[in-house]
Amino acid sequence: MTKKIIHINKLTGKLSRRAMLGGSATVAMAIAQTAHGKAVQEGLSFTELIPDDPTKQVGTLAGEVGTRSGFEKVIKKPSDISSRSPLQDFYGIITPSDLHFERHHAGIPVIDPNKHELVIHGLVDKPMVFTVADLKRFPSVSRIAFLECSGNFRTGKEAMSPQDICGLTSQSEWTGVKLSTLFREVGVKPNASWFLAEGGDAAIMTRSIPVKKGWDDAIIAYGQNGEALRPEQGYPVRLFLPGWEGNTSIKWLRRLELGDAPWQTREETSKYSEGIKGGKIRQFSFDIDARSIITFPAFPAQVEKGWIEIRGLAWSGRGKVVKVEVSTDAGKSWHIAELQEPVLDKAHVRFRYLWHWNGAETEIMSRVTDETGYIQPTFKQLIEARGADSGYHFNPITAWQLKADGRVLNKPENVR
C-alpha cells in the first residue's frame, strides 16, 4: 500500500499539502501518522497513515483535542430513544463522557448557557432565579457515582453483549452545587415535602422528588469528568440524584418547584412504574437495586482455555457494594471476587476473579451483595416475587454460557 506524504511545518506544526508541491526550505518533509481527526481533514483514511515502523518517522504533533486511537472501535448502540454504553469495552470504573448512555424523551436540546436559568419557587421564603454563572459561584462538590436507567434489562437472544443487556448504566465524576445549598438560599419552608424538577427540553420532562433527597445528597451538576456536562447529559445543568433511577435526575434543568404532594406526572405514573404481585402497580421506586454483570468473558468475546481473569461491574443505589461472588459452574458453587478500590457509595465497582478454565462447557455468572444485605436475585426469583407483568427495576443475575469452542453467549430466560 502506498503511503501519502504530508508536510509538517516545523515552526507552526501545521500540516500543509501545498508544501508538497513546492518543497520550500521552511518545510520539513515527514510522513505523518496523524490522529484520526486530522486524517479526515486531509481526506486520508486512518489505515493509509499506519507506518510500517513508527520509530522511523515523526508522529503527530500536539493538538487541541485528543482523539481515540483509530484502532479502537468503541461505540454506543443507538435507537430512536436511547443509546447504550459498551460495558464490555470499558476498563476501570469511569465511563468516558462520549460513551455515557443516553435516554431522552424528545431529543437533545441545544441550550445557550449564557441564557439558561434555573428558577426555584413554590413553598420557599424567596423565589429565586440563578444563572449558570450564579450556580458556579456557590461552594462546589464532586462525586463519582453511577447513573442507570431503571428500564435497563433486555434479554431474548443468545447473541447479546453486556451493552445489549444492560448498557443503560454509566459512571462519571459529577461536579456541581449541593441542592441543599440552594434550598438554604431560597429558604425552603418546613411544610415542603416534595419538589418538582423540570427540564428545558422539548419533553419539558418533569418528576416529583421527595424534599428529603434534596437535603440528603442531590447535586445540581454542571461538570462531568472534568469538563462541562455533555449535551446528552443535560448541558448546561442537570439534577443528579445519586443511586436513584436515571429519569429522576432531570437534565437541562430549568425549574424546581417546592410543594406538599407529588404531582403525579406522566413519567411517574404511565411510565417508570412497574407491575407487582396482586395486580398492583408500584410507583416512586427510586432506589436502583444492586446489580452486577460479568463484562469479560461475555458476548461477543471468544476465549481460550487456561487462565481467564473474569471481570465485571457491580453497583447498588442503596449504598456500597460489600461482596461480589462469581460462579463458574452454573450457580452450584460461588467464590468471592476481588473488589478493586475505591469501593464507593452508589458507584460502579470493578470486580475480578481469576479462573482456570479446563475447556469444558459451563455457565459463569456473578451476584452482588450490598451494604443493606440485599443479594442480587435470579430472573426466576424476580418473576416469582413480582409476577410476570413487571418491567422497570429488573436486575437479575446474568448467566453466560461458555461453549467448548470458547464462544460466550447470553442465556436468555423467559417469563413463561
Partner 1 sequence: MNKLWLVGILEAGLLMSQRPINTVLFPDRDRAQEITYLIKSDSIPARFGFGRVATSTEIARLDIDIRPDGKGLPAGEGKPVAGKVIFAQKCAACHGVGGVGGPNGSLVTTTDPTKKRPEKTIGNYWPYATTIFDYIRRAMPFSEPGSLTDAEVYNLTAYLLNANGIIDDKAVVNAKTLPNVVMPAQQLFVPDDRKGGPEIK
Contact set with ligand HEC (CB under 6 A): 81, 105, 203, 266, 270-271
Residues 10, 184, 189, 212: which binds partner 1 (CB under 8 A)? 184
Q: Is 273 in the site for partner 1 (CB under 8 A)?
A: yes
Q: Is 284 in the site for partner 1 (CB under 8 A)?
A: yes
Residues 2, 52, 279, 358: which binds partner 1 (CB under 8 A)? 279
Question: Which C-beta is closer to partner 1: that of 28 or that of 106?
Answer: 106
Distance CA 409, CA 245 (A): 28
> Which one of partner 1, ligand HEC, none interacts with residue 346, CB within 5 to 8 A by kind?
none
- Kindly provide the residue ranges of all beta strands, DSSP E only, lying in 1-124, ordered along the sequence: 6-9, 15-16, 27-30, 77-78, 82-84, 102-103, 117-122
Segment 193 to 212, residues that bind partner 1, using CB under 8 A: 196, 198, 202-204, 206
- Kindly provide the residue ranges of all beta strands, DSSP E only, lying in 306-378, ordered along the sequence: 306-315, 321-327, 335-336, 338-339, 349-357, 362-370
Please state, in angstroms and as integers, the Cα–Cα distance from residue 293 to each residue in 26, 187, 348, 350, 376, following that order.
57, 43, 11, 10, 10
Nearest to 288 by CA among 246, 330, 257: 246
Residues 6+ apart with CB under 8 A from 15: 6, 7, 8, 9, 32, 34, 38, 41, 42
Q: Is 261 in the site for partner 1 (CB under 8 A)?
A: yes
> Which one of ligand HEC, partner 1, none interacts with residue 204, CB within 5 to 8 A by kind?
partner 1
DSSP 380: H
In the complex, the smallest distance separating the C-beta of residue 265 from ligand HEC, rounded to whole angstroms, is 10
Residue 37 CA, distance from chain mean position: 25
Q: Is 120 in the site for partner 1 (CB under 8 A)?
A: yes
Q: First and final CA of the chain: distance in angstroms? A: 56
Decide: 15 and 42 in contact? Cβ < 8 Å. Answer: yes
For residue 192, give the C-alpha cell: 415542603
Please state, in angstroms and as integers, the Cα–Cα distance from residue 222 to each residue in 3, 4, 94, 271, following that order.
44, 43, 17, 27
Please state, in angstroms and as integers, the Cα–Cα distance from residue 413 to each residue in 157, 249, 361, 363, 396, following that order.
9, 31, 19, 14, 10
Question: Which C-beta is closer to ligand HEC: that of 271 or that of 323?
Answer: 271
> Which one of partner 1, ligand HEC, none interacts with residue 279, CB within 5 to 8 A by kind?
partner 1
Q: Is 335 in the site for partner 1 (CB under 8 A)?
A: no
> Which one of partner 1, ligand HEC, none interacts with residue 56, CB within 5 to 8 A by kind?
none
In the numeric block, the cell 426555584 is attached to 120
Q: Is 375 in the site for partner 1 (CB under 8 A)?
A: yes
Decide: 377 and 395 in contact? Cβ < 8 Å. Answer: yes
Question: Which C-beta is closer to ligand HEC: that of 68 or that of 105?
Answer: 105
Q: Is 139 in the site for partner 1 (CB under 8 A)?
A: yes
Residues 96, 113, 319, 387: which binds partner 1 (CB under 8 A)? 319
In the complex, the smallest distance separating the C-beta of residue 267 from partner 1, rounded to whole angstroms, is 9
Question: Which C-beta is closer to ligand HEC: that of 3 or that of 271?
Answer: 271
> Which one of ligand HEC, partner 1, none interacts with residue 352, CB within 5 to 8 A by kind?
none
H or E element: which one contains 240?
Answer: strand 238-240
In the complex, the smallest distance separating the C-beta of residue 216 from partner 1, rounded to whole angstroms, is 13
Task: Give me the residues that bind partner 1 (CB under 8 A), please.
Answer: 105-106, 119-121, 126-131, 134, 137-139, 181, 184-185, 196, 198, 202-204, 206, 254-255, 257, 259, 261, 263-266, 269-270, 273, 276, 279-287, 318-319, 370, 372-375, 377, 381-382, 385-386, 389
